[in-house]
Chains A and B, each alone.
Chain A
Amino acid sequence: MARRAFLTFIVVLLLAIGMLPVLSMLARSVIVDGRLSLASYAGLLASSRQWSLMRNSMVLSCLVTALAVAVGVPLGILLGKTDLPFRRFFALLFVIPLLIPPYIVAVSWFDLLGREGLLMHLVGATAAGATARLLFGLPGCVFVLFSIFLPIPMLLTMIFLRTVNPRLEEAARLVSNWRGVMKGITIPIILPGVLLAAMLVFILTFGEFSVPNFLRYDVFPVESFTQFSAFYNFEAATAAAVPLAAVTLLVLLVEAAFLRKRTYQLRPFSESERLPPVELGARRTWLSACVGVAGLVIVVVPVVVLIVQSAGMDAYAEAMNRAGGSLLRSLLYAAIGATLLTVFGFFTGYLIQTKAFRCWRSVDSSTIFLLALPSTVIGIGLISLWNTPRTNLVYGTPVIIILGYLAKYTALTSRISVAQLAQIPPSMEEAAQVAGAGWFRRMGLIVAPLARRGLLSGWLVGYIFSLRDTGITMLVYPPGHETLPVRIFTLMANGSPDLIAALCVVMTAATLLPAGILWTIPNLLTRKVTG
């Protein structure tokens, strides 16, 4: 009874926080002056510009997805299946761009390749002009987003490789070399993971606003943001957001139809069960060099450029003077957001894993839908719902920012919880139940401690995504409560490049340092358990 009541409460809360704003926004877009009107949608369909924006969004998403999968999957195989030197270091290195706000990566490339960037001092204005032309527009957007989302197929490939039954590969090795085994056994088995990665990269690129906006490539999310921010046309902004939601929904339906069962059955084999890494032999060195060069270009160069651009303590002193408060606020809101996300994610994950309600699939789909929905849409929805004198306690305070985080990122912590809970034998909880422990005690004393590694990972992921959030926060932050990413955005208008670069370095450090510290905790816990 307690379980049912509490999980119902969680579901209702999730719907109220996440789905209600979106529904409210949709309602507002079709009810004009108290009457049903589809004028905004008619205007949208009639405009050729919208079709061109949609085409741009699709082209960008397809190119980034294709490139990220084409590079990420082989990279994941190299790092997860072979004896490539420094493979753990490389895996961590390539993850860095995913952890920092996307537009910071774009700013860094601009500082290097822009018309007056560092490259101009090295190769002259003509060559720099050519690279600037490439950076601004489709090629630049594709490259920057590719470097940001590359870790997704790489990591998923590495994770799915651990789920391949070693006996199958061992049997195949008797009749074939590794190339044949990979082709005939391993890759077909990890294909759902590759498709899941492709889907994630596609919807994340499709909803991405900050990079295309910065690099002046018109896409649909920019249109929705502009309609809202520049013209404050709620109806047009919503109408412009609906195609985004429709495409997201379509991709999720594909995922539900083809991938859901496969991805939930993740049962990684332990280190001792797995086959030894594939020996690369003579190719080991040059493959390692190739991966190293790729890491240098994709990760090290942009970070170094920011550091070079911000050189000098003056820029950092100015950055802290101007944005010290924003940094503290960012850390506070991200910590609160991460904690709430962990709690919500844990219980929704529990609901999904145990199939506690018949609607478990709808709950899961709703969280994923909100994750995939562009931030602009959620932000507009939150304003539409909470901007009233009676709800000032929410709208006029940072609570609105926290609600945004919960609406957008619960899917991440929920999925992590599902994966962790799947590894806890149900008999543990059942034994406690037989011994007379109530549901809350079972959760507090049995399930949560066993899932502590997942809870920590969930908190970390929630923290990183809350900290780097720009789309929602920029639209809803109350006066005087801007976060660091928002402050960087507002200072970009005529702010000096060294100040912006210094702020970007501070932002990157604020993300990576706590992430680095907390990353080690689950590993220490694992070592303690296995040791």
Chain B
Amino acid sequence: MSPRSICFVLSALIFVSCSKPQDTVVVYVSEDQVFSEPILRDFERETGIEVRAVYDTEEAKSTGAMNRLIAEKDNPQADVYWANEPIRAEVLKQKGISAPYVSPNAEDIPPEFRDPDGYWTGFSARVRVLVVNEGVEDGPGTILAYTDPRWEGRSVIANPLFGTTTAEIAALFVIWGDERAREFMAAMKRNRVAISTNNGESADFVAAGQYDFSLVDSDDAVNRMRQGRPVTMVYPDQEEGGMGCFVVPNAAVFIKGSPHPEAARRLIDYLLSGETERKLAFADCAQIPLHLGVQTPPELKPMSEIKVMRVDYADVARKMVEIQPFLKAWMGL
């Protein structure tokens, strides 16, 4: 190939890649690609707007896309961030990377699941539940079971340095205060809790009978139930006066300096629609709709029937950063 042909091919490549038609939207996605991509394809089909996406890998523990946004703060490439939980959306707000946008579709989403200033809006949530082996009689109904001597050496939890487990522990620190939360963590350790690499692995351990129960995301539990594995799902701390389940909604975030703002707003509107929530509820990710009246699959309770942990996600985000050294030490790192 002559130097001239190489220059031609390169120029063509650059031209094709750099052309930014208005009917394009760039979205960074932390939700698993296998669940998020069909939604984005439907959006493309219905609106004619081309979606260019960057997906997270399992290895980046769902933080790669957010971190890429942070690195690109002065040179934004993305229009929208589809976070798989609201804490990282809060971090982006605190770092000045997102911009407010209140979608008309967000109106009937409960206020506790959206930022009051419109920097992020929640949709389609996972709930933190206990997955319990069917062979266990009189199983646990509260996360305090982790410290109960009855379950010594019989429980497992995902690495608290990553993902929704970190968020829930940070939420406990916010609700209980540092002292009680640290004591809970210490008691959990004394009770010989096992650590797995992720929630899916925890659920598999419980399904295999290696451990009796684990705190996981509702989709992990529902998946195992749909596979016919011998597990049940328990919504913890639902009793009178109980603190309720920690809820982890997805979050749609509008990026400051978005190269395609109009298309970005349309995508956010689409993500926050009842129809998207219905699709995500019946997909394998089994996420619970936040809009009232959207149908849910039989394995899940509607959000209106679940007692929810009342916590400010902004406080949880701040606490999560604060407790990182404690969690590292707890893990022995």
Hey, which bits of chain A sit against chain B, CB under 8 A?
A: 49, 115, 125, 213, 216, 225-226, 228-232, 234, 322, 336, 339-340, 343, 383, 387-389, 392-393, 395-399, 402, 474, 477-482, 487, 489-496, 499
Judge whether B14 and A399 touch: CB under 8 Å. yes
Give the B interface residue count (CB, 8 A). 49
Interchain nearest-CB distance for B208 vs A (Å): 7
Can you pick out 13 interface pairs between chain A and chain B where the beta carbons lie within 8 Å of each other?
A229-B61, A340-B6, A343-B3, A387-B75, A389-B74, A396-B18, A396-B77, A480-B51, A481-B17, A491-B34, A492-B57, A493-B57, A499-B34
Judge whether A230 and B17 touch: CB under 8 Å. no
Cβ of B60 under 8 Å from chain A: yes
**CA–CA, A216 to B159, complex, Å?**
13
Judge whether B17 and A493 touch: CB under 8 Å. no
Q: Which of A387, A477, A499 contacts B72 (CB 8 A)?
A: A387
* Interface positions of B from 30 to 85, Cβ below 8 Å from A: 32-35, 37, 50-61, 63-64, 66-68, 70-72, 74-75, 77-78
Q: Considering only CB atoms, which chain A residue lies closest to B50 in the complex?
A: A480
Judge whether B52 and A480 touch: CB under 8 Å. yes
Judge whether A397 and B13 touch: CB under 8 Å. yes
Cβ of B204 under 8 Å from chain A: yes
Please name all residues of chain A whose beta carbon is closer than 8 Å to the beta carbon of B32 when the two chains form the complex: 493-495
Interchain nearest-CB distance for A51 vs B (Å): 12
Q: Considering only CB atoms, which chain A residue lies closest to B62 in the complex?
A: A493
Cβ of B10 under 8 Å from chain A: yes
**CA–CA, A229 to B54, complex, Å?**
13
Judge whether B17 and A49 touch: CB under 8 Å. no
Judge whether A493 and B72 touch: CB under 8 Å. no
**CA–CA, A493 to B220, complex, Å?**
12
Q: Considering only CB atoms, which chain A residue lies closest to B76 in the complex?
A: A389
Q: Which of B37, B58, B77 contacts A479 (CB 8 A)?
A: B77
**CA–CA, A49 to B33, complex, Å?**
32
Interchain nearest-CB distance for B122 vs A (Å): 21
Instruction: Name the residue among B6, B67, B284, B333 with the largest chain A CB count within 10 angstroms.
Output: B67
Q: Do A229 and B64 form a contact, CB below 8 Å, given A397-B18, A399-B14, A480-B52? A: yes
**CA–CA, A397 to B20, complex, Å?**
11
Judge whether A383 and B71 touch: CB under 8 Å. yes
Judge whether B77 and A478 touch: CB under 8 Å. yes
Please name all residues of chain A whose beta carbon is closer than 8 Å to the beta carbon of B94 when the two chains form the complex: none
Q: Do A115 and B204 form a contact, CB below 8 Å, given A225-B59, A396-B18, A479-B28? A: yes
Q: Which of B1, B51, B59 contacts A339 (CB 8 A)?
A: B1
Judge whether B26 and A480 touch: CB under 8 Å. yes
Q: Do A490 and B56 form a contact, CB below 8 Å, given A115-B208, A231-B63, A392-B75? A: yes
Please name all residues of chain B whose beta carbon is closer than 8 Å to the beta carbon of A343 when the two chains form the complex: 1, 3, 6
Q: Which of A213, A216, A479, A492 contacts B54 (CB 8 A)?
A: A479
Please name all residues of chain A whose beta carbon is closer than 8 Å to the beta carbon of B186 when the two chains form the complex: none
Please name all residues of chain A whose beta carbon is closer than 8 Å to the beta carbon of B52 when the two chains form the complex: 478-481
**CA–CA, A196 to B266, complex, Å?**
57
Interchain nearest-CB distance for B179 vs A (Å): 27
Please name all residues of chain B whose beta carbon is closer than 8 Å to the beta carbon of A396 when the two chains form the complex: 17-18, 77
Hey, which bits of chain B sit against chain A, CB under 8 A?
A: 1, 3, 6, 9-10, 13-14, 17-18, 26-28, 32-35, 37, 50-61, 63-64, 66-68, 70-72, 74-75, 77-78, 162, 197, 200, 204, 208, 284-285, 333
A contact face: mostly helix, strand, loop, or mixed: helix
Judge whether B58 and A493 touch: CB under 8 Å. yes
Please name all residues of chain B whose beta carbon is closer than 8 Å to the beta carbon of A397 when the two chains form the complex: 13-14, 17-18
**CA–CA, A493 to B63, complex, Å?**
13
Interchain nearest-CB distance for A417 vs B (Å): 15
Judge whether A230 and B60 touch: CB under 8 Å. yes
Judge whether B56 and A232 touch: CB under 8 Å. no
Instruction: Name the residue among A336, A395, A474, A479 with the largest chain B CB count within 10 angstroms.
Output: A479
Judge whether B17 and A490 touch: CB under 8 Å. no
Q: Considering only CB atoms, which chain A residue lies closest to B52 in the complex?
A: A480
Judge whether B13 and A336 touch: CB under 8 Å. yes
Interchain nearest-CB distance for B89 vs A (Å): 16
Please name all residues of chain B whose beta carbon is closer than 8 Å to the beta carbon of A493 when the two chains form the complex: 32-34, 56-58
Q: Considering only CB atoms, which chain A residue lies closest to B70 in the complex?
A: A232
**CA–CA, A228 to B10, complex, Å?**
29
**CA–CA, A398 to B54, complex, Å?**
13
Judge whether A479 and B75 touch: CB under 8 Å. no
Q: Considering only CB atoms, which chain A residue lies closest to B210 in the complex?
A: A129
Judge whether A230 and B64 touch: CB under 8 Å. yes
**CA–CA, A336 to B59, complex, Å?**
29
Interchain nearest-CB distance for A476 vs B (Å): 10
Instruction: Name the residue among B27, B57, B71 with the largest chain A CB count within 10 angstroms.
Output: B57
Q: Considering only CB atoms, which chain A residue lies closest to B324 in the complex?
A: A231
Judge whether B162 and A230 touch: CB under 8 Å. yes
Judge whether A393 and B18 touch: CB under 8 Å. yes
Please name all residues of chain A whose beta carbon is closer than 8 Å to the beta carbon of B37 when the two chains form the complex: 322
Please name all residues of chain B whose beta carbon is closer than 8 Å to the beta carbon of A393 when the two chains form the complex: 14, 18
Instruction: Name the residue among B28, B35, B64, B70 with the largest chain A CB count within 10 angstroms.
Output: B64
Please name all residues of chain B whose beta carbon is closer than 8 Å to the beta carbon of A478 when the two chains form the complex: 17, 52, 77
Judge whether A494 and B284 touch: CB under 8 Å. yes
Interchain nearest-CB distance for A237 vs B (Å): 10
Please name all residues of chain A whose beta carbon is closer than 8 Å to the beta carbon of B28 when the two chains form the complex: 479
Q: Which of B50, B59, B77 contacts A213 (CB 8 A)?
A: B59
Judge whether A399 and B10 touch: CB under 8 Å. yes
Instruction: Name the residue among A397, A489, A490 with the largest chain B CB count within 10 angstroms.
Output: A490
**CA–CA, A392 to B74, complex, Å?**
12
